[in-house]
Structure 1
Amino acid sequence: MGRPSRIERTRLFDRLSWALDNQWLTNNGPLTREFEERVADLAGADNCVVTCNATVALQLLVHAAELTGEVIMPSMTFAATAHAVRWLGLKPVFCDIDPRTGCLDPATVAAAVTPRTSAIVGVHLWGRPCAVDALEKLAADRGLRLFFDAAHAIGCTSQGRPVGRFGDAEVFSFHATKVVNAFEGGAIVTDDSDLAQRVRSLANFGFGLQSPSAAGGTNAKMSEASAAMGLTSLDAFPEVARYNRENYELYRRELGQLPGLSLIDFDPDERQNYQYVIIEIDEQVSGLNRDLLVELLRAENVVAQRYFSPACHQLEPYRSQPEVYLPHTERLAARVVALPTGSTISREDIRRVCNIVRLAVSRGSELTARWHQHVGAGKKA
């Protein structure tokens, strides 16, 4: 999990050579503009502003929208979602998730709104879109800005509409581990042209702002080298998504009938990038907890990830704040594992991983007992 997807290196080197020959390496060059156009087209959005990474992209949105006070978001997300908001002096307010999707539960969001709330940030977890319509109605009724962290969801759809057109704006990640990567990068996509222009100015030291900004702007521009990689990765995206889907379907065939284990599913009527293969372990049925399964896999040189675990509210600096009770989040965070996938993983690799998982889950109680004996012996020694 997390290996960069395969690309056609000749195309990348040709683009890099073109940039070097033209001596335009940064500052909104031709490759960067082309990348923005192609991302906007894929997302079905009117505007795209690419940035050096997705964390800064979210921070630019917070600045551009002049948010204050509190921002509601899920705890079941990568820490960068919360850190981006906290870094700017705002307070992340964590809400519980819908246990069926892992995404924000609109009912818990509604209950969390206070006079200090200025925005909601939904997360399309593992590429499965949020309850977009309900969140858009809630934000409109309460007069709140609505953004989506779409780091996992490029190329995905909700009710046939592409991710990238929901809320006031959405943020993509082009980190090296993502299905489309630019070595490192991010993007803001939106139909709000005024918001896009403000973001673009803030990303370039504040030049061109029509009104004063306390932030003054920063340097969040994407380089031509990153754009070259992003374009080449976009070229490969259809094939990578197809390969990811075949990986997912193989995992489902191999593990789908295993008691105590389930794969997160995707709506067959929607388009997906299948970047993640996530399994959920029920210890009550399998006799095996998630953490022991991860240790067993790593002992066999299989790098699986607790994704995302612990949840944000269980991490510092957030766990030191007043206690937050998020039962659905905590239950899911304690049970999920991301298994290896991507275009560099072979079918035989997947079958080997599945053999280990099947053995571990089918003998979960025995392995758990042996593990406790081993730990106990170690403590005595």
Structure 2
Amino acid sequence: MSNFGPFAEQLEFKLATRLQVKHCLVLSNLSTGLMFMPGAAGLTAGEVIVPSFTFLATAHSMKLAGLTPVFADVDPETLTLDPRSVSAAIGPNTVAVCGVHVYGTPCDIEGLESVCNRHGLVLFFDSAHGLGSFHNGRPLGGFGLAEGFSTSVTKPLTTLGEGGFLCTNDDSFAEYIRLARNWGHGGDYNSKFASIVSKMPEVSAAAGLIELERLDTYVANRGKYVAQLKSDLQNLPGLTFPKLRKGDESSWKDFSILVDQIQFGLTRDQFQIALAAEGIEFVTNTEIGKDQAGSQIGDLFDATVICTGATKPMDFVKDAS
């Protein structure tokens, strides 16, 4: 049920075709995929620059892979990693950069590529939210050395709870991942290196194949919900929304709102209470670096962003009307 059967192979083929990449490798979850990325690139030590606004798995996975996460600022208009801040964070031990397509908003890909090329750094993308997003007409998936996507329950494509996959055009990277997800061996039990298991079960892959057929409709519907919410909320002072760069399209994995407490008259937390009183579900984050696993680093955006898109978008449309 979990040994790379026909459903897993079909899902890999269809995803690779859709995302225009040579290799797509399905996994039991994306966190392990992110953890495999440095090793697949030949990196076992050094610093990796990650955004200060992201889900904790980005930094945790890099740390578990042996790298030291260094936080850089995000662009306040897009909430994605700012290449200028990346440049300022580069030091003698920097070996890689991991951009994150937050909420489905593509990073400044060319800006990050330019910085990495100039300094000889490996570029990864945590594309957990990015399936269904496009950059200049190309689907996310083929940028940097590799991109990693999540198929957990809140994502545009789900595989019965948890799941994920990595995309790359690099043959040696792909071969490493094929081994890494299976205790470091290719089926003969002769492990080439120490690893864990991260195989996607066949039942999950089968569900993914069904979900893939619905993906375009799902993303289009999300876009409609977002457009209506923006239209209904745009004239309220103190509420703004992250922007897309020209040529980018979002999966709208989440719909997020930035709250200026001075103009709006409420703090983010007070706004949460008001939304809850109206039966509207929402998600907020602990400040990155301020969870118990992190160092004490402040971050403005985790204190001002309120994300309402992870659950029941029709409730929000009904409530906004």
Category of TM-score, reference length = shorter chain: over 0.9
Once residues 316 and 277 of structure 2 are traced to their aligned partners in structure 1, the CA distance between those partners, rounded to angstroms, is 16
| 2:81 equivalent in structure 1 | 104
Matches within 5 A, 1:246-325: 246-267=224-245, 269-306=247-284, 309-320=285-296, 324=297
Q: 1:269 deviation in Å?
A: 4.3
CA contact (8 A) 2:132 2:216 kept: no
Q: 1:78 deviation in Å?
A: 0.5
Once residues 272 and 124 of structure 1 are traced to their aligned partners in structure 2, the CA distance between those partners, rounded to angstroms, is 9
CA contact (8 A) 1:49 1:189 kept: yes
Structure 2 counterpart of 1:129, from 97, 101, 106? 106
Q: 1:54 deviation in Å?
A: 0.3
CA contact (8 A) 1:82 1:312 kept: no
**Which one has the largest radius of gyration?**
1
Once residues 40 and 89 of structure 2 are traced to their aligned partners in structure 1, the CA distance between those partners, rounded to angstroms, is 24
Matches within 5 A, 1:1-381: 25-67=1-43, 68-183=45-160, 184-208=162-186, 215-267=193-245, 269-306=247-284, 309-320=285-296, 324=297, 330-340=299-309, 344-346=312-314, 349-354=315-320
Once residues 61 and 233 of structure 2 are traced to their aligned partners in structure 1, the CA distance between those partners, rounded to angstroms, is 37
SS class of match (1:33): helix
Once residues 251 and 160 of structure 1 are traced to their aligned partners in structure 2, the CA distance between those partners, rounded to angstroms, is 25
Q: 1:341 deviation in Å?
A: 6.2
SS class of match (2:289): helix
CA contact (8 A) 1:244 1:341 kept: no
Q: 1:143 deviation in Å?
A: 1.6
What is the percent sequence identity of the aligned residues? Answer: 34
Q: Alpha-carbon deviations, 1:96-137, whole Å to 9, x = none? A: 111121111111111211221111100011111111112112
| 1:364 equivalent in structure 2 | none
TM-score, L = length of structure 2: 0.92
CA contact (8 A) 1:50 1:187 kept: yes
Q: Look up the equivalent residue of 1:228 and give its one-letter code.
A: A
Once residues 144 and 261 of structure 1 are traced to their aligned partners in structure 2, the CA distance between those partners, rounded to angstroms, is 37
SS class of match (1:114): coil
Once residues 215 and 280 of structure 1 are traced to their aligned partners in structure 2, the CA distance between those partners, rounded to angstroms, is 45
Unmatched runs of 5 consecutive residues or more in structure 2: none
CA contact (8 A) 1:150 1:170 kept: yes
Unmatched runs of 5 consecutive residues or more in structure 1: 1-24, 356-381
CA contact (8 A) 2:104 2:133 kept: yes
Q: 1:141 deviation in Å?
A: 1.9
Once residues 82 and 309 of structure 2 are traced to their aligned partners in structure 1, the CA distance between those partners, rounded to angstroms, is 28
Q: 1:268 deviation in Å?
A: 7.0
CA contact (8 A) 1:32 1:224 kept: yes
Q: Look up the equivalent residue of 1:337 and give its one-letter code.
A: I
CA contact (8 A) 2:106 2:248 kept: no
Q: How many equivalent pairs are there?
A: 317
Q: Look up the equivalent residue of 1:60 and give its one-letter code.
A: F
Q: Alpha-carbon deviations, 1:250-297, whole Å to 9, x = none? A: 101211211111233435743332221111111111111111111121
Once residues 334 and 102 of structure 1 are traced to their aligned partners in structure 2, the CA distance between those partners, rounded to angstroms, is 13
Q: Look up the equivalent residue of 2:149 and give its one-letter code.
A: F
